[in-house]
């Protein structure tokens, strides 16, 4: 590992051979990612479904025990607390596979305040993601019938007489799987087996990749969005339910915002630059007007320019036009576009 970031109080690799080389490799081969920083918050008990629904704006009333649900966790003001994948893993058991904030404490606070009958724990589950176009071939060599698993479905698969929960998901758009490793010793054997069986496929260790995820428009909580943003401002409308039969915190605020329309939203920005590094929100100016903030960006070799994700005022969103923007004090030729980016 060349560099790390901190994610849910754990180390998460950020690069192995440099993000450009890692990105190229991910798009052509298969990588094994230790994404154990994506912790599972387990909500279990008679009120588990009720609590899980109370804290997310996605309608989970018909949730199936074999599907993954991308579901924003929000507060009473409709602001995003986290953006996990949620899975109903048992009749009274839910897993929230979280991004980088302390959802366990939030869930406990709500449960205690509302006197709900639940146990909230962080089980010893560590995700091993297998990502890249050749992940299908590699996983088929190790798990029987894994090729039948559809996108965002999960199921238990046998390895060394242990059943691992495996989902067809992952934080890249290159295809792949996530193995929820709940047995440390067999998990290490599994890792070694995947690495050796994948030799001819170019299998190597990897990690979520800045370039690939920005090109793909995969949002990163804490980078592109935070506790001051609502899901409607972040383009997550498809995961906000106004079904009158479901109850969640912040629903009235979101309903009002949806009726009035958002005043700002996330857009893509393509910049004629050869390099950029964003470690905090950078103000974007168009002439004298501050029109928003640049939140993430990278140089994309495939696009031959820098790509960024920015929160921009609706009134100043002039999509697909040649613009001169001031970012961090420099004038940049740029274009705003919809996400994900298209060439
Ligand atoms: N996998 C698991 N846990 C996670 C992530 C993950 N926890 C942290 C973080 N990633 C949560 N955020 C996301 C964001 C996007 C997606 C998954 C988790 C994602 N989105 C798809 C997309 O945008 O195309 C599909 C969304 C949908 O259609 O429902 O995959 O990656 N275990």
Report pLDDT digits (tens) over 28-67.
999 999 999 999 999 999 999 999 999 999 999 999 999 9
- Centre of ligand 1 to C-alpha 112, Å, is 28
Q: Residue 130, exposed/middle/buried by CB under 10 A (0-12, 13-18, 19+)? A: buried
Reply yes or no on whether the pLDDT at 148 is more than 90: yes
In Å, how far from its chain's centre is CA 231? 13
- Centre of ligand 1 to C-alpha 84, Å, is 7
* Residue with CA closest to ligand 1 atom 19: 171
* Residue with CA closest to ligand 1 atom 28: 70
Whole-number Cα distances in Å, 338 to 82, 192, 234, 317: 23, 41, 12, 10
DSSP symbol at 341? P
In this prediction, residue 36 carries a pLDDT of 98
- Centre of ligand 1 to C-alpha 97, Å, is 9
| Ligand 1, CB within 6 Å, residue ranges | 38, 70, 83-85, 97-99, 127, 169-171, 178, 218
Rounded to an integer, what distance in angstroms lies between the CA atom of residue 261 and that of residue 91? Answer: 38
Give all strands of the β-sheet with 40-44 in edge-to-edge order: 68-70, 85-90, 93-97, 40-44, 119-121
| Atom from ligand 1 closest to the CA of residue 70 | 29
**Token pair for residue 122?**
């962080």
Q: Is 217 left (phi over 0), alpha (psi -120 to 50) or beta?
A: left
User: Quick one: CA dihedral 165, 95, 219, 231, positive or negative?
Assistant: positive
The answer to whether 92 and 81 have CB atoms below 8 angstroms apart is: no
- Centre of ligand 1 to C-alpha 68, Å, is 9
The residue whose CB lies within 8 Å of the most ligand 1 atoms, and thus the one to mutate among 150, 171, 178, is: 171
Report if pTM > 0.85: yes
Cα Rg for the chain, rounded, in angstroms? 21
Phi then psi dihedrals of residue 178, to 5 deg: -130, 125
Q: How many CB atoms lie within 10 A of CB 222?
A: 15
Instruction: Note the pLDDT tens digit of each residue in 99-138.
Output: 999 999 999 999 999 999 999 999 999 999 999 999 999 9
| Atom from ligand 1 closest to the CA of residue 97 | 3
Rounded to an integer, what distance in angstroms lies between the CA atom of residue 221 and that of residue 76? Answer: 18
Rounded mean pLDDT of 306-332?
Answer: 96
In this prediction, residue 157 carries a pLDDT of 98
Q: Where are the alpha helices (DSSP H) in the chain?
A: 19-28, 48-55, 103-113, 135-142, 184-197, 210-215, 251-260
Reply yes or no on whether the pLDDT at 329 is more than 90: no
The answer to whether 310 and 284 have CB atoms below 8 angstroms apart is: yes
| Atom from ligand 1 closest to the CA of residue 173 | 24
Q: pLDDT above 70 covers what percent of the chain?
A: 100
Reply yes or no on whether the pLDDT at 185 is more than 90: yes
In this prediction, residue 343 carries a pLDDT of 86
Rounded mean pLDDT of 65-91?
Answer: 98
Specify the residue for token string 């849910």: 8
| Atom from ligand 1 closest to the CA of residue 239 | 29
- Centre of ligand 1 to C-alpha 169, Å, is 7
Whole-number Cα distances in Å, 43 to 69, 90, 165, 225, 248: 15, 10, 17, 25, 16
In this prediction, residue 254 carries a pLDDT of 98
Instruction: Note the pLDDT tens digit of each residue in 217-272.
Output: 999 999 999 999 999 999 999 999 999 999 999 999 999 999 999 999 999 999 99
Phi then psi dihedrals of residue 194, to 5 deg: -60, -40
* Residue with CA closest to ligand 1 atom 23: 218
* Residue with CA closest to ligand 1 atom 31: 171
Instruction: Note the pLDDT tens digit of each residue in 11-25.
Output: 999 999 999 999 999
- Centre of ligand 1 to C-alpha 38, Å, is 10
- Centre of ligand 1 to C-alpha 41, Å, is 15
């Amino acid at each position: 590992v060349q560099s790390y970031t901190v994610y849910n109080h754990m180390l998460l690799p950020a690069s192995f051979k440099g993000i450009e080389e890692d990105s190229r490799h991910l798009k052509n081969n298969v990588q094994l990612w230790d994404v154990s920083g994506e912790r599972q918050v387990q909500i279990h008990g008679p009120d588990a479904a009720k609590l899980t629904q109370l804290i997310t704006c996605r309608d989970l009333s018909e949730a199936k025990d074999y599907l993954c649900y991308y579901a924003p966790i929000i507060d009473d003001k409709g602001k995003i607390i986290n953006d996990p994948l949620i899975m109903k893993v048992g009749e009274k058991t839910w897993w929230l596979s979280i991004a980088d904030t302390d959802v366990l404490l939030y869930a406990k606070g709500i449960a205690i305040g509302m006197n709900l009958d639940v146990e909230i724990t962080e089980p010893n589950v560590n995700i091993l993601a297998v990502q890249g176009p050749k992940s299908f071939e590699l996983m088929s060599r190790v798990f029987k019938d894994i090729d039948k698993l559809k996108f965002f479905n999960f199921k238990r698969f046998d390895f060394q007489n242990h059943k691992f929960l495996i989902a067809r998901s992952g934080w890249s758009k290159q295809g792949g799987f996530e193995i929820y490793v709940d047995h440390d010793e067999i998990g290490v054997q599994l890792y070694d087996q995947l690495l050796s069986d994948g030799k001819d496929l170019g299998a190597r260790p990897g990690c979520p990749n800045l370039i690939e995820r920005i090109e793909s428009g995969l949002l990163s909580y804490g980078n592109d969005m935070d506790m001051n943003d609502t899901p409607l401002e972040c383009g997550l409308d498809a995961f906000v339910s106004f079904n009158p039969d479901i109850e969640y915190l912040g629903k009235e605020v979101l309903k009002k915002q949806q009726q009035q329309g958002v005043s700002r939203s996330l857009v893509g920005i393509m910049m004629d630059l050869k390099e950029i590094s964003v470690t905090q929100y950078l103000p974007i100016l168009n002439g004298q007007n501050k029109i928003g903030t640049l939140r993430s960006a990278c140089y994309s070799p495939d696009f031959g320019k820098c790509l960024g994700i920015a929160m921009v005022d609706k009134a100043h969103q002039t999509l697909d036009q040649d613009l001169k923007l001031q970012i961090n004090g420099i004038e940049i030729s740029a274009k705003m576009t919809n996400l994900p980016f298209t060439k």
